[in-house]
Structure 1
């Protein structure tokens, strides 16, 4: 099995999700791996389903085996929902245009950043990565300066619509029958990753995080994100919270780590593997 396809069957697709799978798949395609986007999309889809299927049961097992209870004494002044809450004011067309313009500016600057990074590493670099980092900088600077008030539900909605359109257009062009020759190898890589995720979450991460209720919920989220995407992590944690009680720490930490912090390690490591084993 070619190293490029092995990489696309593992963390690139499972941690990065469909967006990263198709973006890096296009990069590999330019290097001569014609069915790379197909492999990435298939792996990302499999991971998305697997993450939801194993995350909830693993979290439930940890909670029931260790008789864990939520810490009702938690006192957070803010939460992810409060931070991203809408002003509940009726948005005018000007407000919508302002938010869209900021997104477009981040995309434009991000594409230039990605091109420069691509020149430095001498390979095509996914443009969404540069745009993501620029957007993170813009939001964090804005949180300090209060230069502009974003309507985060609107921005999230625009992002969801654009991602769904992108995935729909990309997946419509995939020819699944071309994956037949690589099916066995891809499934072995995917199975190994699932087994590793279960073992590391159950026996290692749970203990590192404190072996408490919050740790169990975060392990369920880890399975969702480590095999699928951040929304899968939130689905897993929400299901557990509804049954056993709220873990505010998990709902605060996991989305932040999954949405941004993981990329601090994920992107450089991915580039290193590509440079070492593919090019």
Structure 2
């Protein structure tokens, strides 16, 4: 049974407020920066699993609106980027990219050891490694037939999808606690004066803040849509040149270009970059996207692959935590931005880029803004990593 688009969006909104209620009532969720949509979404996903178990009915959702929310969100991220920040922090971008490539290899080595211990074919390791975790559902589905042909395993598609599904859940649960540990242990604090790129800080009743009205909100939406329009054009040009990128990547790039040229050329034109109106647009699109993504998880796909899946993913989470604490955070500079990036790194290496952004957003709500983190991580996780991942996957499949 497929729920139509309108009902899916409505349920996504309900899921967000359900998660926000859980966050207010459950200290663990609040104290360890678990994104609001997570708990409510998991509750719905478990509900659809129970219905499947009792009645055999598979409840799925029309998620067509989710694609719009994703490009809207990354357009707002691009609008908040300042070229001078990227220029000053080019070294950090390079270090983040190199660490990501290293971890892709580490993740597949861990998976290779795991499948060997369970007596599975070596080529199947990528389905419990970077193809499903860093790559997500799309990469897992794309590589499934190839790995199935090599290994002769009929269930390899289910294994990859199950790993990607469970990885999303784990990614949303570990990023916040890691960042909390790093921030409090090292006495770090964000910028409470700067309006967050995404993830408005929790406010006390009566606390003064920037005024938002329908005009500022409509302006933020209009400019975001202009960015998306140019993103579509750039996406088409890149596709003709043979470079196939997700649509949200050109939208992110066009947001950066427009936000660093239009205000200079037209200084009197009101521009929404780093305003609360744009931050609200970011929060809305990201929260609803994540709610719809997680509530649509099909836990019944985990059946039949439980043993190797749970064991290997448990080790993957442990290795990711160790890597972040002892390698990633020190090499990224031990700063507050590095701590926020640590939450994001856990999010996309175990789940997906939106999961990473949601983790970082939840952290900045509690500890203050970290605008640079929301630019650096998407550039690596959504742009460079797919190319590196494909090369590494090909190597491990050929072992």
TM-score when normalising by structure 2: 0.48
Distance 2:346 2:325 in 1: 10
Q: How many residues align?
A: 230
Among residues 20, 30, 34, which one is paired with 2:154 in the alignment? 34
Unmatched 5+ stretches in structure 1: 114-129, 147-152
Cα 1:246–1:33 change in 2 (3 A) is same
Counterparts of residues 89-104 of structure 1 (less than 5 Å): none
How far off its partner does 1:103 sit?
A: 5.5
Contact 1:6–1:186 (CA<8 Å) still a contact in 2?
A: no
Q: Give, in whole Å, the separation in 1 of the partners of 2:160 and 2:136.
A: 9
Report how far residue 90 of structure 1 moved: 11
1:220 to 333, 339, 343: 343
Whether the aligned pair in 1 keeps the contact of 2:232 and 2:251 (CA below 8 Å) is no
Instruction: Name the residue aligned to 1:10.
Output: 129
**Residues 161, 301 of structure 2: 8 Å contact kept:** no
Instruction: Name structure 2 gaps, 5 residues minimum.
Output: 1-119, 200-218, 262-280
Q: What residue in structure 1 maps to residue 245 of structure 2? A: 132
Matches within 5 A, 1:68-107: 68-71=188-191, 88=222
Output one character per residue of 1:1-60: Cα deviation in whole Å (capped at 9) or x when no partner.
Answer: 122332101111110111111111133234443212111110001111111101001100
Q: Distance in 2 between matches of 1:57 and 1:89?
A: 35
1:176 aligns with 2:296: no
- Looking at structure 2, the residues matched to 58 and 67 of structure 1 have their Cα atoms a distance apart, in angstroms, of 14
> TM-score under structure 1 normalisation?
0.66
SS at match of 2:382: helix
1:25 equivalenced with 2:144 (yes/no): yes
Asked whether the 8 Å contact 1:58–1:220 carries over to 2, the reply is yes
Q: 1:242 to 1:266 in 2, by over 3 A?
A: same
User: Judging changes above 3 Å, is the alpha-carbon distance between structure 1 residues 71 and 191 closer, same or farther for their aligned structure 2 residues?
Assistant: same
Query: Using the alignment, how far apart are the partners of 2:365 and 2:300 within structure 1?
Result: 40
